[in-house]
Amino acid sequence: MTMKRILVINPGSTSTKIAVFDDDKQIMAETIRHPLDEVKAFSWVMDQFDYRMKHIEETLKNKDIDVNTLDCVMARGGLLPPVPSGAFEINKEMIDYFYAAKVDVHISNLACVLADAIARPLGIPAMVYDPVAVDELEDVARITGMPEIKKASRGHVLNSRAMARKCAEEILGKKLEDCTIIVDHIGGGCSTWLVHKGRCIDCYSDDDAGFAPERCGRIQAMNLAMLCYSGKYTKEEMSRYIRGKSGLSALLGTSDAVEVERMIENGDENAKLVYEAMARSHAKGIADLASVVCGKVDRIVITGGLANSRMLMDMIRPHVEWIAPMQVMAGEFEMEALAAGGLRVLNGEEKAHIFSLGANNNENAKTEKKEPKMEIVLTNENFDKEINGDTPILVDFWASWCGPCRMLAPTIEQIAHESDGSYRVGKVNVDDYKEIAARYGIQSIPTLIVFKNGEEIRREMGARPKAAVLEMLK
């Protein structure tokens, strides 16, 4: 079997990580730093394409990497609709999805476009692996006590599945598909995953289980609701508090675990109490997920940056090893995981999924799930047919250049995904279908119109909160 050379691209908000692997051996790695003032000059992450590509090309040239020697380009997957784990070929439909702003604005969206631009002229594959949108939760895991809120699959799935695979193959001597492994990733944020027979069937993210250096963890709902409505915080401030300024940062004034441990060693009893509380919060999340499989767990893996802390590991271990042995696999291995996933596809050990909005992206999942409901792309050809049904249809008039449209897009996508069949959701790109926009007097976007039996029954303009959009459908 000939050696395969793989380029890996993983952009962050102010950096772009790239690496080159010959099979599983890393031969080059570089973190390209982007000054914040340069990044802030772009109003939309997709506008950074030329800027980031120039830096990637210059770095590869300076490192004497000839792109003509590459066999594959792997990218950190962006915010696609819910998809199963594994590899996905980057295709036009995936790229169009990101440029149409149907998803949250996230820098990982750009990785796919960068990878495709390098790979396509070379005639080699470009793929994502375990993108952030991986969702293999069992239906029973999604249900909460409030019908408006369903548990989301969210967290460090790429690194967590990679560590589960590594544990299965190198420690247990088995295939991942033959194991049940709980992976707890602890860094600035955290997430806990139940990987059962190769699939992530349940999870906790960093706002519903253990807390972390900069995350709040599980909070009693009523107290949180009272704080949200207390007038002390705006919606944006509360969001930043929950995900970025809570956890150790709020409790001890620092998110640096090394500093916290120094405080403990110097006799700070409060710091010790908080650190033990954080350890116990993770143990509770692990034990919760173990209950899903009736305690039949092969290994508990602790990974992420804080897995380097012997003090924290010693605090967690006695609370979980009654379930299964605890394996510490410190650090983050996203670049290695992306390269390994690509190598398995190139060697024929795995088959890459084909991304399609109109197809069931979960077709290769071991347990078949219902296809996620998507917005209907409305055109001159299908518009009249779609709005004439007796099931109401919410139509979003939008354009790719419209900032408020991009803000509203995740809400519209979520509402479409959550439909119980009592309504449908469609989108009209006003740049592509000016005739439709003119027909309904669309003068500003986004504009939302609800149609039933061909008649307009409600209209709202501007980026509306989810509750207000749902109210239109009542």
Tell me what the mean pLDDT of segment 365-384 comes to. 68
Which backbone phi and psi does 324 adopt, to 5 degrees?
A: -165, 160
Task: Confirm whether 72 is a catalytic residue.
Answer: no
Answer yes or no: is pLDDT of 103 > 80.
no
Q: pLDDT (tens digit, 9 = 90+) per residue, 397-417?
A: 998 788 788 778 878 888 888
CATH architecture of 1-138+334-370: 2-Layer Sandwich (3.30)
Q: pLDDT (tens digit, 9 = 90+) per residue, 426-444?
A: 999 999 899 999 999 998 9
* Residue 317, phi-psi category: left (phi > 0), alpha (psi -120 to 50), beta (remainder): alpha
Exactly one of 112, 167, 190, 405 is catalytic; which is it?
A: 405
Q: What is the pTM of this model?
A: 0.70
Looking at the chain, the whole-number percentage of residues with pLDDT higher than 90 is: 66
Place of tokens 């919760």: 288
- Higher local confidence (pLDDT), 463 or 301: 301
Exactly one of 179, 200, 203, 402 is catalytic; which is it?
A: 402
Question: pLDDT tier at 101 (50, 70, 90 boundaries)?
Answer: low
Dist CA 237 CA 246 (whole Å):
11
**Sequence letter at residue 398:** W
Tell me what the mean pLDDT of segment 366-387 comes to. 73
Q: pLDDT (tens digit, 9 = 90+) per residue, 12-55?
A: 888 899 999 999 999 999 999 999 889 888 878 888 999 999 99
Classify strands 72-75 and 25-33 as parallel, antiparallel or unpaired: unpaired
CATH architecture of 157-331: 2-Layer Sandwich (3.30)
* Mean of the per-residue pLDDT values of the chain: 90
CA 361 to chain centre: 16
Residues of the chain with CATH 3.30.420.40: 1-138+334-370, 157-331
Identify the bridge partners of residue 203 per DSSP, sorted by sequence position: 193
CATH architecture of 376-472: 3-Layer(aba) Sandwich (3.40)
Answer yes or no: is pLDDT of 370 > 50.
no
Query: Is there a contact between 413 and 102 (Cβ–Cβ < 8 Å)?
Result: yes
Task: Confirm whether 402 is a catalytic residue.
Answer: yes
Answer yes or no: is pLDDT of 91 > 80.
yes
Dist CA 337 CA 331 (whole Å):
12
Dist CA 132 CA 155 (whole Å):
7
* Tokens encoding 24: 């599983």
Residues of the chain with CATH 3.40.30.10: 376-472
Query: Is there a contact between 7 and 339 (Cβ–Cβ < 8 Å)?
Result: no
**Cα-based angle 42, 47, 50 (whole degrees, multiple of 5):** 110
* Tokens encoding 97: 């999805």
Q: Which pLDDT does position 467 carry in this prediction? A: 85
Dist CA 168 CA 171 (whole Å):
6
Q: Which of 237-246, 355-364, 382-391 has the lowest mean pLDDT?
A: 355-364
Task: Give the residue among 302, 10, 36, 330 at the shortest CA–CA distance from 184.
Answer: 302
Q: Is 425 helix (H, G, I), strand (E, B) or coil?
A: strand
Q: Which pLDDT does position 42 carry in this prediction? A: 85
**Cα-based angle 165, 166, 169 (whole degrees, multiple of 5):** 80
Q: pLDDT (tens digit, 9 = 90+) per residue, 261-277?
A: 999 999 999 999 999 99
**Sequence letter at residue 167:** C
Query: Is there a contact between 305 and 187 (Cβ–Cβ < 8 Å)?
Result: yes
Q: Give 30-87 as a DSSP string.
A: EEEE--HHHHTT-SSGGGGHHHHHHHHHHHHHHTT--GGG-SEEEE-----SSB-SSE
